[in-house]
């Protein structure tokens, strides 16, 4: 059964979808594609792993196929902005698979790669350019790219771009774009700033939402282990040993922590690699390629990969460290249960991470099932002190007529010198 042909796409695109074994559109695609084909601006809200790339990519390609002529040197017809290099590469790969038998040129510009090669590519013009904002501004300042012909703008994972401070970059890029244009903004969450962003850059947008912000995919089984930090390494090895062939993505909080964890796993015989901000783009690309191909089965990452890995075969996501930002938990676990598959998300919670766990559960409006351990006693709300300065029950010998002992006055702490 092939249902994409009901959406009104060009026959060339329907053929490409069939070759890629895409048969039925996801809910976000079903709702967004017809509206985008009509030329509406789109505000799309959907959790990770629901097919947002095709939701904006298919109508974008359809519009470009209907436009005759090649792009002029240095010009761009459609611009897609994404927050990370990994996500830029992932989007570009998906679009190239759909444009293989067309004359459309899909290019990428990201930091960490040769700017000279990117200038050379841009000199010939691009139908679709997928870029990180920072590198794009570098190229604009060098007059290597002309954005005045852009008639289609896509902001993917816009909430993360806000978190990463790219709103200032967007304010530099937007005035250089052509008008009138169609703008599509896609995001997994909808913070207040996102409303302001949509009002600034979208015109009468059609809002498409297929799941509440902060909700994980339905096919993800979640659990949490309460344990000390010292117990985390052993618990991780137990879980990995139980299914040695499964593709497992492990999230650490820091670059140093991710690298140390990966090296420890390799020393213990696990087939592991890592990606984080201290790795070159080439190292990160090779690690993801090896992970996708099954050459390594454990990938340790920081949040640089929370939205940049689209590998349907990821069976487990392990939050070795809970993220500081609760939204990032949703994006992390969205790396599993992709393309209709099932997946498992496992969280480790040390005593000093209880607040992060509470914030995550509040955002998702669920209580994550406990797999092992118990929540420490101090995680309970503190009891209110009574007038006598005691917590809870009065100690033996205390009575209602006795006066509370005068509390000692604490000296104010001296602040260290700046």
Task: Please report the sign of the dihedral spanned by the C-alpha atoms of residue 155, residue 161, residue 167, residue 171.
Answer: negative
- DSSP secondary structure string for all residues of 209-260: ESS-TTPPPTTEEEEEEE--GGGHHHHHHHHHHHTTTSEEEEE-SSHHHHHH
Domain boundary among 165, 183, 209: 209
Domain boundary among 179, 209, 239: 209
Angle at 67 between CA 102 and CA 22, to 5 degrees: 45
Q: Residue 186: what are its φ and ψ, rounded to 5°? A: -120, 140
The answer on 228 and 198 residing in a single domain is no
Given a cut of 70, whether residue 380 has pLDDT beyond it is: no
Given a cut of 80, whether residue 27 has pLDDT beyond it is: yes
CATH code for the domain of 351? 3.40.50.300
Q: Residue 234: what are its φ and ψ, rounded to 5°? A: -70, -40
Classify residue 185: in a domain, yes or no: yes
The answer on 198 and 108 residing in a single domain is yes
What is the per-residue pLDDT across 115-136, written as a single tens digit (0 to 9) for each?
999 999 999 999 999 999 999 9
Given a cut of 60, whether residue 394 has pLDDT beyond it is: no
225-229, 257-261, 307-311, 387-391: which range is least confident on average? Answer: 387-391
Domain boundary among 151, 183, 209: 209
Q: What average pLDDT score do residues 408-416 get?
A: 45
Q: What pLDDT score was predicted for residue 76?
A: 97
Q: Residue 372: what are its φ and ψ, rounded to 5°? A: -160, 160
Burial of 174 (0-12, 13-18, 19+ CB in 10 A): middle
Classify residue 400: in a domain, yes or no: no
Q: What pLDDT score was predicted for residue 388?
A: 41
The answer on 142 and 257 residing in a single domain is no
Given a cut of 50, whether residue 407 has pLDDT beyond it is: no
Tokens of 277: 């901000």
The answer on 41 and 124 residing in a single domain is yes
Strand partners, 319: 251, 347
CA nearest to 62, candidates 104, 94, 29, 113 = 104
59-63, 279-283, 301-305, 413-417: which range is least confident on average? Answer: 413-417
Q: What pLDDT score was predicted for residue 216?
A: 60
Classify residue 171: in a domain, yes or no: yes
pLDDT > 70: what percent of the chain? 84
- DSSP assigned state of 414: P
The answer on 353 and 225 residing in a single domain is yes
What's the structural domain count of the chain? 2
State the pairing for strand pair 206-209/42-45: parallel
Q: What pLDDT score was predicted for residue 339?
A: 61
Given a cut of 90, whether residue 97 has pLDDT beyond it is: yes
What is the per-residue pLDDT across 99-113, written as a single tens digit (0 to 9) for each?
998 999 999 999 888
Q: What average pLDDT score do residues 21-26 get?
A: 86
Give residues with Cβ within 8 angstroms of 318, minimum separation 6.
236, 239, 248, 249, 250, 251, 345, 346, 347, 348
Tokens of 349: 């919670």
Give residues with Cβ within 8 angstroms of 30, minimum separation 6.
7
The answer on 176 and 28 residing in a single domain is yes
Classify residue 393: in a domain, yes or no: no
The answer on 178 and 253 residing in a single domain is no
CA Rg value for the chain? 25
* pTM score: 0.68
Q: Are 125 and 74 in contact (CB under 8 A)?
A: yes
Q: Are 75 and 69 in contact (CB under 8 A)?
A: no
Classify residue 402: in a domain, yes or no: no
The answer on 371 and 350 residing in a single domain is yes
Alpha helices in 82-166 (DSSP H): 85-98, 115-122, 133-141, 158-163
Q: What pLDDT score was predicted for residue 163?
A: 65
Q: What pLDDT score was predicted for residue 65?
A: 95
Tokens of 71: 């792009």
Given a cut of 60, whether residue 398 has pLDDT beyond it is: no
What is the per-residue pLDDT across 313-352, written as a single tens digit (0 to 9) for each?
899 999 999 999 888 898 888 888 776 678 999 999 999 9
Q: Are 278 and 252 in contact (CB under 8 A)?
A: no
Q: Give me the domain span that covers residue 20.
A: 4-209
The answer on 252 and 195 residing in a single domain is no
Given a cut of 50, whether residue 255 has pLDDT beyond it is: yes
Q: Return d(Cα 341, Cα 191) in angstroms, integer.
A: 29
Q: What pLDDT score was predicted for residue 330?
A: 84
Given a cut of 50, whether residue 1 has pLDDT beyond it is: no
Given a cut of 60, whether residue 64 has pLDDT beyond it is: yes
- B/e letters for 30-63, b = 16+ CB within 10 Å, e = fewer, are bbbbbbbbeebbbbbbbbbbbbbbbbbbbbbbbb
pLDDT band at 259 (very low <50, low <70, confident <90, very high): very high
What is the per-residue pLDDT across 280-324, written as a single tens digit (0 to 9) for each?
878 888 998 899 899 999 999 998 766 656 777 899 999 999 999
Is 370 in a helix, a strand, or coil? Answer: strand
State the pairing for strand pair 152-155/106-109: unpaired
The answer on 30 and 173 residing in a single domain is yes
Given a cut of 70, whether residue 34 has pLDDT beyond it is: yes
The answer on 161 and 232 residing in a single domain is no
Please, what is the average pLDDT of the chain?
Answer: 85
Classify residue 132: in a domain, yes or no: yes
42-56, 122-136, 350-364: which range is least confident on average? Answer: 42-56
| Number of other CB atoms surrounding residue 76 within 10 Å | 27
Classify residue 253: in a domain, yes or no: yes
Given a cut of 70, whether residue 381 has pLDDT beyond it is: no
What is the per-residue pLDDT across 131-169, written as a single tens digit (0 to 9) for each?
999 999 999 999 999 999 999 999 998 877 776 678 888
Cα–Cα distance list, 8 to 3, 4, 60 (Å): 10, 8, 13
DSSP H/E element including 327: helix 326-333
Q: Return d(Cα 98, Cα 269) in angstroms, integer.
A: 39
The answer on 70 and 184 residing in a single domain is yes
């Amino acid at each position: 059964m092939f249902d994409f042909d009901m959406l009104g796409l060009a026959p060339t695109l329907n053929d490409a979808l069939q070759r890629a074994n895409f048969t039925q559109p996801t809910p976000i695609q079903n709702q967004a594609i017809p509206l985008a084909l009509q030329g509406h601006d789109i505000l799309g809200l959907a959790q990770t792993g629901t097919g947002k790339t095709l939701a904006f990519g298919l109508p974008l390609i359809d519009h470009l196929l209907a436009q005759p002529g090649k792009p002029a040197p240095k010009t761009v017809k459609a611009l897609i902005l994404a927050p990370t290099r990994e996500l830029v590469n992932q989007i570009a790969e998906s679009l190239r698979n759909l444009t293989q038998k067309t004359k459309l040129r899909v290019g990428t510009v990201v930091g960490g790669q040769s700017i000279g090669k990117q200038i050379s590519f841009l000199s010939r013009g691009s139908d679709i350019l997928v870029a990180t904002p920072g590198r794009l501004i570098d190229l604009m300042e060098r007059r290597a790219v002309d954005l005045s012909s852009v008639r289609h703008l896509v902001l993917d994972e816009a909430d993360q771009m806000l978190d990463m401070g790219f709103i200032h970059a967007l304010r530099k890029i937007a005035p250089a774009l052509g008008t009138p244009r169609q703008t599509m903004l896609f995001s997994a969450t909808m913070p207040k700033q996102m409303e302001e962003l949509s009002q600034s850059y979208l015109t009468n947008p059609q809002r498409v939402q297929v799941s509440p912000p902060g909700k994980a995919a339905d096919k993800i089984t979640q659990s949490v282990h309460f344990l000390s930090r010292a117990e985390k390494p052993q618990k991780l090895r137990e879980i990995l040993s139980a299914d040695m062939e499964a593709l497992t993505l492990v999230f650490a909080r820091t670059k140093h922590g991710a690298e140390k964890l990966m090296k420890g796993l390799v020393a213990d015989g696990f087939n592991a690699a890592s990606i984080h901000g201290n790795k070159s783009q080439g190292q990160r690309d090779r690690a993801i390629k090896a992970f996708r191909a099954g050459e390594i089965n454990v990938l340790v990452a920081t949040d640089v990969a929370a939205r940049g890995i689209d590998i349907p075969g990821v069976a487990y996501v392990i939050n070795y460290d809970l993220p500081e930002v609760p939204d990032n938990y949703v994006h992390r676990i969205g790396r599993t249960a992709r393309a209709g598959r099932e997946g498992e998300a496992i969280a480790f919670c040390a005593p000093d991470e209880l607040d992060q766990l509470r914030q995550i559960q509040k955002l998702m409006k669920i209580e994550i099932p406990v797999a092992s351990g118990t929540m420490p006693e101090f995680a309970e709300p503190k009891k209110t002190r009574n007038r006598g300065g005691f917590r809870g029950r009065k100690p033996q010998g205390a009575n209602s007529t006795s006066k509370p002992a005068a509390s000692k006055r604490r000296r104010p702490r001296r602040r260290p010198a700046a």
